[in-house]
Amino acid sequence: MDRPFLDLSPCGPLRGALRVPGDKSVTHRGLMLLALAEGEGRLFYPLKAGDTLSTARVLRALGAEIAEEGPHFLVRGRGLRLKEPEDVLDCGNAGTLMRLLLGILAGQEGLFAVLTGDASLRRRPMGRVAAPLRAMGAQLLGREGGNKAPLAVRGQGLKGIRYTLPVPSAQVKSALLLAGLFAEGATEVEEPVPTRDHTERLFRHFGLPLWVEGNRIRTQRSGPFPAKDLVVPGDFSSAAFFLVAALVTPGSEVVVEGVGLNPTRTGLLSVLKAMGADLEWRVLEGEAGEPVGWVRARHGPLKGVAVDPGLIPLMVDEVPALAAAAAWAEGETYIPGLAELRVKESDRVAAIAQNLRALGVEVEEGEDWLRIRGGGVRPGEVEPFHDHRIAMAFAVAGLPVGVRVWEPGWAEISYPGFFQDLKRLCAAS
Ligand SMILES: O=C(O)C1=C[C@@H](OP(=O)(O)O)[C@@H](O)[C@H](O)C1
Ligand SMILES: C=C(OP(=O)(O)O)C(=O)O
């Protein structure tokens, strides 16, 4: 069978301004909370891509009305009570959808649902949400004792628990906070290291119960709450590819506008700065409690660094983009703390190592670390391993010299139009 590919010829300087699609994490959560709210609310400038369209489809099967209004979504919520779906709920490729939805469905008393996903999602660990949800009283069954989808859930009366996250995961934290909205008593999550806090910010936006003390986040059962419009900022994770593309391509200068700059997402900026990157950014406004602004990146020399493992949860989806920058840096970059990358859409540690080697870069791979010897790449072929971030990161790594990207369509999971935007900025020079 012929596999699709895209040949990117060597790109001259990238120049110009760009708005990236809406934030994926905020879109998933905005749709879910509006589906649980009472009345109609609009989600302005959401991400409409593979993952979030899966969320819209699944929420419709659970009785929410979701209409498209140009680029926006108009959602009529169910007032906390979802409808029993008539068929299996297909979460596609979206881990965030499956894990957060398990939290919501666990507390929908009497409602039965089966969740599945594509081959990648069916390989990913769900025990991390199933175990604490069961401790709250959830009834959950699935492959490997509830660790792998397909998963069946029958909603129950839940009881709040106190839970310390064993892995830094905003998805686990969010699943428990969402379940806590339906549980008796308080639900408290302690996170040893900070992870993205979009759920907390959206709870505040919708006036849902929330207390944060240091690294402890608490909620409790909520009564019906009214829908409220929400503006979705641009996705920093999508912006990251263009920032790195500009940093590694001689003569480039790119500005990404209207992008979310939530500090629990922007760890990459600190690491790139430490590498000597010519980067500037400003927060200009807030939307739904999320800081939004612009970031400018100019090409210049980069040097290798040893990354602080504590920063990884604040840039967990940007490690493939960082690896692309490291390939062009002078000297060695050491990236520890990568255990979680092994259980993403692909084994990202292995996928990064393999693609760097395919582009002629020397790399050492440990169980949870990478050591990348920089100095530039040579033309080659990139294998996404069915993973959007790998496809985009290595398109960028190879951009200055030209690269073939196999199955470029994977980028559409989080960024429809990625390659068009890339070509437009290259052509603008
Ligand atoms: O909560 C979220 O929206 C996300 C959390 C992260 O996953 P983990 O919670 O598994 O770290 C991240 O990798 C994913 O892309 C989105
Ligand atoms: C890990 C990701 O998403 P998810 O876990 O929602 O599939 C990602 O977008 O990089």
Strand blocks (E) in 240-337 = 253-260, 278-287, 290-298, 332-335
Query: Judging by DSSP bridges, how do beta strands 290-298 and 253-260 pair with one another?
Result: antiparallel
The answer to whether 24 is a known ligand-binding residue is yes
pLDDT tens track, the chain, 429 positions: 689 999 999 999 999 999 999 999 999 999 999 999 999 999 999 999 999 999 999 999 999 999 999 999 999 999 999 999 999 999 999 999 999 999 999 999 999 999 999 999 999 999 999 999 999 999 999 999 999 999 999 999 999 999 999 999 999 999 999 999 999 999 999 999 999 999 999 999 999 999 999 999 999 999 999 999 999 999 999 999 999 999 999 999 999 999 999 999 999 999 999 999 999 999 998 877 899 999 999 999 999 999 999 999 999 999 999 999 999 999 999 999 999 999 999 999 999 999 999 999 999 999 999 999 999 999 999 999 999 999 999 999 999 999 999 999 999 999 999 999 999 999 765
Q: How far is the CA of 211 from the centre of ligand 2 (A)?
A: 27
CB contact set of 47 (below 8 Å; sequence gap of 6+): 21, 22, 23, 24, 27, 232, 235, 414
316 lines ligand 1 (CB under 6 A): yes
Residue 427 is predicted with a pLDDT of 79
**Residue 316: nearest ligand to its CA?**
1
The answer to whether residues 51 and 28 touch, using CB atoms and an 8 Å cutoff, is yes
**Residue 170: nearest ligand to its CA?**
1
The answer to whether 162 is a known ligand-binding residue is no
Residue 288 is predicted with a pLDDT of 79
ipTM of the complex: 0.99
Q: Distance between CA 209 and CA 220 in Å, rounded?
A: 6
The answer to whether residues 338 and 326 touch, using CB atoms and an 8 Å cutoff, is no
C-alpha angle with apex 311: 306 to 315, nearest 5 degrees? 110
Residue 214 is predicted with a pLDDT of 96
- Which amino acids bring their CB within 6 angstroms of ligand 2? 24, 51, 94-96, 317, 344-345, 389, 414
Residue 1 is predicted with a pLDDT of 67
Q: Which CATH number fits domain 24-211: 3.65.10.10, 2.60.40.10, 3.40.50.300, 3.40.50.410?
A: 3.65.10.10
156 lines ligand 1 (CB under 6 A): no
| Coil, strand or helix at 133 | helix
Count Cβ atoms below 10 Å from residue 63 Cβ, excluding itself.
15
Q: How far is the CA of 252 from the centre of ligand 1 (A)?
A: 31
Active site residues: 317
317 lines ligand 1 (CB under 6 A): yes
Nearest to 337 by CA among 303, 374, 306, 372: 306
pTM: 0.98
CB contact set of 212 (below 8 Å; sequence gap of 6+): 200, 218
Q: Which of 96, 102, 118, 346 to mutate to test the pocket of ligand 2 (most atoms within 8 A of CB)?
A: 96
| Coil, strand or helix at 424 | helix
Tokens of 251: 């003569």
Q: Distance between CA 223 and CA 208 in Å, rounded?
A: 9
Q: Which amino acid belongs to residue 221?
A: R
Atom number in ligand 2 closest to CA 97: 6
Residue 429 is predicted with a pLDDT of 55
Nearest to 46 by CA among 259, 291, 201, 232: 232
Q: How far is the CA of 12 from the centre of ligand 1 (A)?
A: 34
Q: Distance between CA 177 and CA 199 in Å, rounded?
A: 8
237 lines ligand 1 (CB under 6 A): no
Count Cβ atoms below 10 Å from residue 185 Cβ, excluding itself.
13
The answer to whether residues 153 and 115 touch, using CB atoms and an 8 Å cutoff, is yes
CATH 3.65.10.10 residue window(s) in the chain: 5-22+233-427, 24-211
Tokens of 386: 């069915």
Residue 287 is predicted with a pLDDT of 78
What are residue 402's phi and psi, to 5 degrees?
Answer: 95, 140
The answer to whether 124 is a known ligand-binding residue is yes
The answer to whether 122 is a known ligand-binding residue is no
Going by CATH, does the domain composed of 5-22+233-427 fall within 3.40.190.10? no
